[in-house]
């Protein structure tokens, strides 16, 4: 029986089964007599622990709590060498570990544990204390299976020794054996329960060692005093039982090696002494020497088992420490990411607000210039006016780029998919940029196919606008060609130029915000947002953007593939604007910015409108004002009500009055409401031609 128990110390198990039995939670930092622990249910490690007596690794069983959990902040502070250890949360927790589905493992009172240890530098001794706690807990758990062996051996030997020795002596010895075996069993069960709860073990390991020594004295008494002279069979039987007790002690008590050495030094020498007394010659010396060799071998085996098990505990500790470091790094990275996200959001909000605030004066400036251009001016003043208009137009384009970036950053750019001919945006954009191309000396051409694609026409148009504008600015005096190309994967748009090209080292970064090639930075004005907008709009459409370029040989940008379609969506019929519909009438201009209000009013007056301006229309005066023929309103009026709200109120009072909304920013909700109420939305800064076109549109 005992030899079988020893063999079971190191069972040969399949790797998968061994891994399953030995899977441990890495969130747990164990406490031995005051060592802090922690739980992190996110990771686990595999530690090869010897399964004693054929039982699954007790560390994975619910009733084996080799650890004490504390909350995450306490754990981090502990390993940051915080001096205020008592700041740890001592309230019991309820967090279960994955091997404890019933949630029976609880957090313990860390300050009490630390106080019971009496140690100074806890951070320095944490690993050693962990090993001691694990060793004590394992010894106590295994002790639950040892005490029955002492009781059964006492009963069996008492029966076998009857008639050879006085009954009172046998009864006294058996009572001693049973008494301390039961005491050891009680200690073992109590210690196992404390370990399962993750509580400090206190003096139980010491009490267990004392019980083991007292039991060893009982076995030594047996070997020395109960020597049945003349009965060789009984002598062999007693020796076999004592040898089994020794083997069992080696297998179960090796973690307390000094105690193991003490018990073997009591049991074996007592037998040797009795042998030499009974047989002082070689007949007693040889078996005695063999027993001493047996004792040395058992001590060596116990030391080897102890070293193997402690190595497993060290691996477990190292993996938990690695998990702690990884978690700490993850927390740092998480905080850094949160900080970066906050900075990015702040940047987006800044651009949105700055763009809105800066659009106001540029918007009013453009309208004032348009009104001024109708006056008779000296040639020199007219030349200056043209220069100012060019500067305002450049500013407007820059603000439009910033608006695109802001909308992309805030996730407000959402594709509205339809089917349309790929040639339509190409032809429109080439016509739009024809004048700019002539001014730059660029020969702009295009070649289309009859391909029909499925995408968002407005986003496709914006992508091509940026690519064509970029080509004209950077390839002045060369050829720029826009091509629709059909491939097996889908339809592609190519924008090529024969300009200076882009160096390979710069090709990756030119798609980033505010990045431009070195040559372009010296020769061309701009913020470097065009290609960044192209890249991000392409991501919205879930298509790719590629670049082919060689210095001195030009550049080609390809966008696609776009999904092919079989037919074009039905387009809404375009109604012609009747001349009477475009005739001026009475216009109401609403804007809380006085300069903008006056600029719009001046321009409308130039176009023959009778204009009334105001910063707001209170609800009480909605029915008092004269019904207008046109409403032009800013969206954000700074009064808690928006331009859309006022237009809706005026329409409710005076009927379906045509209306325009001008805004420095927009949201999906705003755009949806504008469409729902049959209005037109313009983004600041608005060029006079845009404003006039929008007025004709709403009047038509």
What average pLDDT does this structure show over 474-487? 87
Same domain, 456 and 605: no
Find how far residue 537's CA is from the centre of its chain.
Answer: 26
Please state which of the ranges 212-216, 295-299, 407-411, 680-684 shows the lowest mean pLDDT. 407-411
Q: Which domain holds residue 73?
A: 2-278
Q: Would residue 63 count as lying in a domain?
A: yes
Q: Helix axis angle, 167-196 relative to 147-161, nearest 10°?
A: 170
Same domain, 256 and 131: yes
What average pLDDT does this structure show over 501-508? 76
If residue 452 lies in a helix (H) or strand (E), which one and from where to where? Answer: strand 452-455
Is 426 in contact with 450 (CB distance < 8 Å)?
no
Q: Would residue 249 count as lying in a domain?
A: yes
pLDDT for 533 equals 82
State how beta strands 418-421 and 44-46 pair: unpaired
pLDDT for 395 equals 66
- Neighbouring C-beta atoms of residue 468, cutoff 10 Å: 26
Please state which of the ranges 109-118, 205-214, 485-494, 682-691 shows the lowest mean pLDDT. 109-118
Q: Would residue 317 count as lying in a domain?
A: no
The CA distance from 291 to 486, in Å, is 93
What average pLDDT does this structure show over 479-490? 90
Per-residue pLDDT tens over the stretch 526-539:
556 678 888 888 88
pLDDT for 79 equals 37
pLDDT for 482 equals 92
Per-residue pLDDT tens over the stretch 245-272:
888 878 788 888 888 888 888 888 888 8
Same domain, 459 and 590: no
pLDDT for 405 equals 62
Share of the chain above pLDDT 90, in %: 3
Same domain, 601 and 677: yes
Q: Would residue 191 count as lying in a domain?
A: yes
Please state which of the ranges 70-84, 455-469, 477-491, 675-689 shows the lowest mean pLDDT. 70-84
What average pLDDT does this structure show over 12-28? 36
Please state which of the ranges 487-496, 553-562, 586-595, 619-628 shows the lowest mean pLDDT. 619-628
Which two three-digit tokens encode residue 183?
Answer: 């005491």
Same domain, 526 and 584: no
Q: Which of 210, 244, 278 is the last residue of a domain?
A: 278
What average pLDDT does this structure show over 322-349? 85
Is 683 in contact with 666 (CB distance < 8 Å)?
yes
Which has more pLDDT, 358 or 50? 358
Average pLDDT, the chain: 72
Closest CA to 407 of 586, 195, 663: 663
The band of 410, judged by pLDDT with boundaries at 50, 70 and 90, is: low
The band of 517, judged by pLDDT with boundaries at 50, 70 and 90, is: low
The CA distance from 34 to 110, in Å, is 7
Q: Would residue 350 count as lying in a domain?
A: no
pLDDT for 652 equals 87
Share of the chain above pLDDT 70, in %: 70
Same domain, 245 and 136: yes
Q: Would residue 402 count as lying in a domain?
A: no
The band of 3, judged by pLDDT with boundaries at 50, 70 and 90, is: very low
Q: Would residue 370 count as lying in a domain?
A: no
Same domain, 544 and 601: no
Q: Which of 213, 245, 278 is the last residue of a domain?
A: 278
Same domain, 547 and 613: no
CATH at 604: 3.40.50.2300
The band of 128, judged by pLDDT with boundaries at 50, 70 and 90, is: confident
The three-point CA angle 320-321-324 to 5° equals 90
Structural domain count, the chain:
3
For residue 492, pLDDT beyond 90: yes
Which has more pLDDT, 227 or 652? 652
Same domain, 674 and 550: no
pLDDT for 109 equals 35
Which has more pLDDT, 83 or 223? 223
Which has more pLDDT, 551 or 60? 551
Per-residue pLDDT tens over the stretch 43-73:
333 333 333 333 333 333 333 333 333 333 4
The CA distance from 468 to 483, in Å, is 11
For residue 601, pLDDT beyond 90: no
Per-residue pLDDT tens over the stretch 272-310:
888 888 777 777 788 888 888 888 888 888 888 888 888
The CA distance from 601 to 609, in Å, is 9
- Neighbouring C-beta atoms of residue 517, cutoff 10 Å: 23
pLDDT for 494 equals 93
What average pLDDT does this structure show over 175-196? 88
pLDDT for 401 equals 61
Same domain, 590 and 443: no
Q: Which of 541, 564, 587 is the last residue of a domain?
A: 564
Same domain, 141 and 270: yes
The CA distance from 430 to 436, in Å, is 10
Tell me the C-alpha to C-alpha distance, in Å, between residue 427 and each of 424, 481, 543.
5, 12, 22
Q: Would residue 352 count as lying in a domain?
A: no
Please state which of the ranges 153-157, 352-356, 371-375, 559-563 shows the lowest mean pLDDT. 352-356
pLDDT for 364 equals 67
Find how far residue 606's CA is from the centre of its chain.
Answer: 59
Per mean pLDDT, which of 69-78, 127-136, 419-428, 570-579 is the most reliable?
419-428
For residue 493, pLDDT beyond 90: yes
What average pLDDT does this structure show over 90-115? 36
Same domain, 215 and 252: yes
The CA distance from 507 to 623, in Å, is 61
């Amino acid at each position: 029986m005992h030899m079988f128990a020893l063999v079971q110390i190191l069972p040969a198990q399949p790797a998968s089964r061994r891994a399953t039995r030995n899977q441990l939670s890495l969130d747990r930092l164990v406490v031995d007599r005051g060592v802090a622990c922690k739980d992190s249910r996110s990771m686990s490690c595999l530690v090869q622990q010897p399964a004693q007596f054929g039982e699954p690794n007790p560390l994975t069983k619910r009733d084996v709590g080799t650890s004490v959990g504390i909350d995450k902040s306490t754990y981090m502070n502990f390993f940051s060498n915080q001096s205020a250890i008592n700041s740890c949360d001592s309230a019991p927790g309820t967090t279960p570990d994955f091997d404890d589905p019933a949630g029976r493992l609880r957090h313990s009172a860390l300050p009490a544990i630390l106080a019971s240890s009496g140690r100074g530098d806890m951070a320095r001794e944490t690993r050693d204390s962990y090993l001691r706690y694990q060793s004590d807990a394992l010894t106590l758990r295994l002790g639950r299976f040892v005490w029955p062996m002492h009781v059964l051996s006492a009963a069996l030997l008492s029966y076998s020794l009857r008639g050879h020795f006085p009954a009172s002596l046998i009864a006294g010895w058996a009572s001693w054996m049973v008494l301390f075996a039961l005491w050891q069993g009680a200690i073992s069960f109590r210690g196992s329960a404390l370990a399962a709860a993750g509580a400090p073990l206190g003096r139980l390991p010491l009490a267990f060692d004392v019980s083991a020594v007292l039991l060893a004295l009982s076995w030594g008494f047996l070997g020395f005093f109960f020597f049945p002279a003349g009965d060789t069979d009984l002598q062999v039987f007693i020796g076999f039982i004592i040898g089994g007790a020794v083997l069992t002690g080696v297998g179960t008590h090796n973690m307390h090696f000094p105690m193991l050495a003490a018990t073997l030094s009591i049991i074996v020498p007592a037998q040797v002494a009795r042998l030499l007394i009974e047989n002082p010659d070689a007949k007693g010396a040889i078996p005695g020497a063999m027993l001493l060799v047996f004792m040395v071998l058992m001590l060596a085996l116990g030391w080897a088992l102890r070293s193997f098990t402690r190595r497993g505990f060290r691996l477990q500790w190292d993996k938990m420490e690695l998990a702690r470091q990884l978690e700490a790094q993850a927390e740092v990275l998480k905080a850094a990411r949160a900080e970066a996200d906050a900075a990015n959001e702040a940047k987006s909000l800044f651009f949105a607000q700055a763009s809105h605030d800066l659009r106001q004066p540029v918007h009013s400036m453009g309208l004032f210039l348009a009104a001024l251009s109708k006056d008779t001016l000296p040639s020199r003043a007219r030349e200056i006016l043209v220069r100012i208009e060019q500067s305002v137009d450049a500013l407007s384009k820059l603000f439009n780029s910033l608006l695109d970036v802001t909308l992309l950053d805030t996730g407000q750019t959402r594709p509205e998919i339809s089917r349309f001919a790929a040639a339509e945006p190409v032809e429109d954009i080439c016509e739009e940029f024809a004048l700019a191309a002539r001014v730059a000396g660029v020969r702009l051409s295009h070649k289309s196919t009859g391909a029909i694609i499925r995408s968002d026409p407005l986003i496709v148009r914006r992508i091509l606008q940026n690519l064509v504008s970029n080509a004209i600015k950077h390839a002045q005096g060369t050829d720029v060609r826009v091509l629709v190309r059909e491939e097996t994967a889908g339809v592609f748009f190519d924008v090529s130029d024969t300009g200076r090209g882009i160096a390979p080292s710069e090709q990756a970064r030119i798609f980033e915000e505010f990045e431009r090639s070195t040559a372009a930075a010296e020769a061309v004005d701009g913020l470097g947002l065009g290609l960044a907008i192209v890249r991000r709009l392409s991501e919205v459409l879930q298509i790719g953007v590629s670049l082919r370029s060689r210095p001195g040989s030009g550049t080609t940008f390809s966008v696609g593939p776009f999904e092919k379609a079989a037919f074009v969506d039905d387009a809404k019929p375009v109604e012609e604007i009747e001349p009477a519909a475009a005739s001026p009438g009475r216009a109401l201009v609403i804007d809380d910015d006085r300069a903008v209000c006056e600029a719009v009013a001046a321009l409308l007056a130039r176009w023959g409108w009778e204009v009334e301006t105001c910063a707001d229309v209170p609800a009480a005066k909605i029915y008092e004002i004269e019904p207008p023929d046109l409403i032009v309103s800013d969206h954000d009026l700074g009064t808690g009500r928006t331009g859309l709200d006022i237009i809706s109120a005026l329409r409710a009072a005076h009927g379906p009055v045509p209306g325009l909304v001008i805004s420095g920013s927009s949201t999906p909700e705003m755009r949806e409401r504008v469409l729902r109420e049959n209005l037109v939305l313009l983004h600041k800064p608005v060029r006079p031609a845009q404003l006039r076109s929008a007025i004709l549109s709403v009047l038509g």
